[in-house]
């Protein structure tokens, strides 16, 4: 499977608690942090719910 890099770029203060829980479930701990996750439908759904708080980039793999 391919991987994507997700970066948390905007604070979740003032938004619904459900959105903060989604940020935490993606693996974030602090603002401006990046995580690399598998590109799957459940992950894409979580990213869609907090798309105004994160930036998504394609993770390029190393070629052998």
The whole-angstrom separation of Cα 9 and Cα 55 is 7
Tell me the pLDDT band of 60, cut-offs 50, 70 and 90: confident
Cα–Cα distance, 34 to 39 (Å, whole number): 15
For the segment 5-13, the average pLDDT, to the nearest whole number, is 97
pTM: 0.87
Residue 37: closest CA among 46, 14, 52, 29: 46
Q: How confident is the model at residue 62 (pLDDT cuts 50, 70, 90)?
A: low
For the chain, the structural domain boundaries read 3-58
Domain 3-58 class? Answer: alpha beta
The total of other beta-carbon atoms located within 10 Å of residue 2's CB is 10
């Amino acid at each position: 499977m391919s991987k994507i890099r997700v970066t948390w770029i905007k604070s979740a203060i003032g938004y619904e608690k459900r959105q903060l829980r989604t940020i935490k479930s993606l693996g974030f701990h602090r603002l401006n942090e990046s995580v690399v996750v598998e590109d799957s439908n459940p992950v894409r759904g979580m990213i869609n719910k907090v798309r105004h708080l994160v930036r998504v980039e394609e993770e390029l793999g190393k070629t052998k």
